[in-house]
């Protein structure tokens, strides 16, 4: 006879035997053969439970990983949640029966061979169904957060599709009499313990910390940029830091988290967070240190020179991580204007996923931030890179993702004379790129915003961006934001007009004051390996007097190398 079956028969036959049991539960998505499956062990002895996820296959845990165990004492009516780190331990506790969950009894059913009582409730719009059996002679549950129901949980189902089933019940005479440890560590509230667990798992890498970006005189920088030091360029309107960043497993999601506030500048300014590629003979770093003449130049039909805006044989332009726009004076000017019903935000907050650029955020990296302004106070910025794990296993492998910058007309060296992207009035932007033989999931990451701040300017008039590849018009995109009024509370010194509309409310070409611009992605998987030509065409508006329109576009080729 099968040993497991014999044990089950023995347990069922005993009926009222209590103590020294090990139960295994499996959670899965109903009807999905290859869905996520997790297992939980529940040890039961003398009215106590030890509940633990089965993560024994984790050989190389990620930083911040903790052994997590939950204990239940029926006698004390208490639940203890414990996080065990290599050098510290924390726990929280709450009464087992102290919860807001109220179950209704739905009748009797047989589930997995056990006669059960079915219960039902609703939690946060989720329908929870639970089947409990009293035929095993003791109480046990893998989900103490649902409160106490008599008997052993045989099945729990959420919204009819996510299932947790009792898979095995075994006797284990070697279980200690006292399952709950005497020393549980430092006590926390349940809320604080949950937040602590998340905080320790997330890797936060500080880049800039309340650094000033303003217009001022700085001594020209010479020599090699040092690590972990913020350096000002272009009259203080660019800050750059050289960092040594860790190589993370591909399951991590990467985000840029940015805080910005006015330090004296009242206007909505174009801003950018970027990475400077340095693998080629020339780089944008040369322009910062040596001046614009060190950058390759494109001369348009308008006779103007555009410095460092596209990939050349020996040069790659900056890779834009986040395009963002300051608001009208948030922080510095909050006490200057009072409007009923509005409370001004103290700072602007931007958070954007940048996982597809992970290959540019490892090893020796130059990260920069730019805000175009002519104010001696300018702005204050803080930037962190955040990495959220998707698995508990470290699994370090070579990065399959690759990003290749193709063009970037965001003139971050504006205050050093780098030209605005006005070329589209007389030219299109053309660049040659190559797709490797082993590339898959090939895409273009594209950011575009239009500028020209008067009624006829491209800031306030939708314009189609056309993307041609090898002479064929493949994609069109019209950048436009019509939700700018949502961010009125971020713009204390925005102009207010006679009809109640603020200037920050106006719809714009792909941006709003106080927001970041989302990239758009175009599928290039049908392109064959080899060289191709991409061309960007925009019907840029005509100049009016001393005013002109221009476009800030950046494009990055994304692909993954096929596993060999």
Q: d(Cα 103, Cα 147) in Å, to the nearest integer? A: 10
Contacts (Cβ under 8 Å, ≥6 apart) of 203? 63, 64, 246, 248, 252, 386, 387
Least confident of 271-285, 417-431, 489-503: 489-503
Do the strands 186-187 and 89-95 form a parallel or antiparallel pair, or are they unpaired? parallel
Instruction: Judge contact between 256 and 351, C-beta under 8 A.
Output: yes
Shortest CA distance to 68 belongs to which of 189, 251, 204, 198? 198
Cβ-contact 465, 538 below 8 angstroms = yes
Domains of the chain, first to last? 3-192 (2.50.20), 202-561 (2.60.120.1570)
Residue indicated by tokens 């165990």: 69
Q: In this structure, how many other beta carbons lie within 10 angstroms of the beta carbon of residue 160?
A: 9
pLDDT at 519: 98
Rg of the chain taking only CA atoms, in angstroms: 30
pLDDT in tens, 113-134: 999 999 999 999 999 999 999 9
What is the share, in percent, of the chain residues with pLDDT greater than 90?
89
Q: What is the mean pLDDT of residues 523-544?
A: 97
Name the residue among 88, 91, 130 with its Cα closest to residue 107: 130
pLDDT more than 70, % of the chain: 95
Q: Mapping DSSP to helix (H, G, I), strand (E, B) and coil, where does residue 196 land?
A: helix
Q: Is the pLDDT of residue 18 over 60?
A: no
- Per DSSP, the three-state class of 360 is helix
Contact between 444 and 467 under an 8 Å Cβ cutoff? The reply is: yes
pLDDT tens-digit series, residues 243-255: 999 999 999 999 9
In the predicted model, what is the mean pLDDT of residues 31-52? Answer: 87
CB 550 within 8 A of CB 422: yes
d(CA 191, CA 197): 10
153 has pLDDT over 80: yes
Q: For residue 365, what are the contacts with CB-CB under 8 A and spacing of at least 6?
A: 242, 243, 244, 245, 275
The torsion of the CA quartet 254, 386, 92, 101, rounded to 10 degrees, works out to -50
Pairwise CA distance, residues 220 & 291, whole Å: 10
- What's the whole-number average pLDDT of the chain? 93
Q: Are residues 261 and 380 in contact, defined by beta-carbon separation less than 8 angstroms? A: yes
Q: Is the alpha carbon torsion for 162, 167, 169, 172 positive or negative?
A: negative
What pLDDT does 33 receive?
64
CA atoms of 562 and 315, how far apart (whole Å): 26
pLDDT, tens only, 439-448:
999 999 999 9
Per-residue confidence (pLDDT) for residue 35, from 0 to 100 = 66
Over residues 463-494, the pLDDT tens digits come to 999 999 999 999 999 999 999 999 999 999 99
Label residue 58 by pLDDT band (50, 70, 90): confident
| Model confidence band, residue 3 (pLDDT cutoffs 50, 70, 90) | very low
pLDDT for the residue numbered 46: 85
pLDDT, mean of residues 104-119: 97
Average pLDDT rounded to a whole number, residues 541-563: 95
N-to-C CA span, the chain: 46
Tokens representing 105 are 């009894």
| CA torsion, ordered 334, 411, 405, 249, to nearest 10 deg | -30
Question: How sure is the predictor about 101, in pLDDT bands with cuts at 50, 70 and 90?
Answer: confident
- For residue range 21-37, list pLDDT tens digits in order: 999 999 999 887 666 78
pLDDT at 12 over 70: no
pLDDT tens, residue by residue, 367-425:
999 999 999 999 999 999 999 999 999 987 878 899 999 999 999 999 999 999 999 99
Q: Please state the rounded mean pLDDT for residues 179-189.
A: 95
Report residue 54's pLDDT band, with 50, 70 and 90 as the boundaries.
confident
Residue 7: band (very low, low, confident or very high) from pLDDT cuts 50, 70, 90: very low
Provide CB contacts within 8 A for 290, sequence distance 6+.
none
Residue in this structure with the two tokens 């313990």, named with its chain if needed: 193
Closest CA to 504 of 378, 379, 345, 373: 345
Question: Rounded to whole angstroms, how far apart are CA atoms 14 and 18?
Answer: 9
Question: How far is Cα 222 from Cα 236, in angstroms, rounded to an integer?
Answer: 15
pLDDT for the residue numbered 564? 53
For residue 22, report the phi and psi dihedrals to the nearest 5 degrees.
-125, 120
């Amino acid at each position: 006879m099968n040993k497991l079956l014999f044990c089950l028969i023995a347990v069922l036959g005993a009926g009222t035997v209590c103590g020294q049991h090990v139960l295994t539960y499996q959670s899965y998505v109903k009807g999905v053969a290859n869905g996520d499956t997790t297992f939980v062990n529940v040890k039961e002895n003398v009215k106590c439970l030890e509940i633990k996820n089965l993560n024994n296959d984790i050989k190389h845990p990620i930083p911040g990983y903790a052994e997590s165990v939950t204990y239940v004492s029926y006698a004390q009516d208490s639940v203890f949640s414990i996080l065990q780190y290599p050098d510290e331990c924390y726990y929280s506790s709450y009464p087992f029966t102290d919860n807001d969950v109220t179950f209704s009894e739905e009748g009797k059913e047989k589930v997995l061979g056990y006669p059960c009582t079915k219960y039902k409730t609703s939690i946060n719009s989720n329908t929870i169904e639970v089947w409990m059996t009293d035929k095993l002679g003791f109480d046990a549950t893998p989900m103490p957060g649902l409160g106490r129901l008599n008997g052993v949980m045989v099945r729990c189902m959420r919204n009819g599709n996510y299932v947790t089933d009792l898979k095995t019940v075994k006797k284990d005479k070697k279980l200690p009499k006292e399952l709950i440890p005497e020393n549980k560590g430092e006590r926390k509230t349940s809320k604080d313990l949950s937040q602590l667990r998340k905080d320790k798992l997330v890797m936060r890498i500080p880049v800039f910390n309340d650094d000033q970006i303003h217009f001022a005189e700085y001594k020209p920088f010479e020599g090699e940029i040092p690590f972990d030091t913020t350096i000002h360029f272009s009259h203080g309107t660019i800050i750059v830091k050289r960092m040594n960043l860790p190589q993370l497993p591909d399951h991590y999601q990467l985000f840029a988290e940015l805080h910005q506030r006015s330090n004296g500048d009242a206007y909505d300014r174009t801003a950018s967070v970027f990475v400077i590629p340095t693998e080629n003979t020339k780089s944008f770093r040369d322009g910062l240190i040596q001046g614009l003449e060190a950058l390759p130049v494109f001369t348009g039909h308008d006779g103007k020179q555009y410095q460092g805006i596209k990939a050349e044989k020996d040069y790659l332009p900056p890779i834009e991580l986040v395009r963002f726009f300051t608001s009208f004076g948030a922080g510095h000017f909050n006490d200057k204007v009072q409007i009923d019903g509005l409370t001004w935000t103290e700072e602007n907050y931007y958070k954007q996923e940048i996982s597809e650029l992970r290959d540019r955020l490892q090893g020796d990296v130059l990260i920069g931030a730019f805000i175009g302004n002519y104010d001696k106070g300018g702005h204050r910025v803080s930037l962190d890179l955040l990495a959220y794990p998707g698995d508990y296993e470290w699994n370090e492998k070579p990065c399959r993702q690759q990003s290749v910058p193709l063009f970037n007309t965001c003139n971050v060296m504006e205050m050093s004379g780098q030209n605005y992207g006005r070329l589209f009035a007389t030219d299109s932007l053309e660049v040659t790129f190559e797709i490797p033989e082993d590339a898959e999931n090939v895409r273009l990451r594209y950011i575009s915003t239009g500028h020209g701040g008067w009624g006829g300017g491209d800031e306030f008039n939708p314009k189609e961006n056309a993307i041609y590849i090898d002479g064929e018009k493949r994609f069109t995109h019209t950048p436009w934001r019509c939700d700018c009024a949502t961010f009125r509370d971020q713009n204390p010194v925005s102009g207010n007009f006679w009809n109640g509309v603020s200037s920050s409310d106006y719809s714009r070409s792909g941006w709003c004051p106080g927001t970041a611009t989302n990239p758009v992605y175009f599928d290039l998987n049908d392109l064959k390996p080899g060289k191709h030509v991409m061309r960007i065409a925009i019907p840029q508006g005509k100049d009016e007097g001393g005013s002109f329109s221009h476009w800030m576009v950046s494009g990055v080729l994304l692909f993954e190398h096929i596993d060999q």
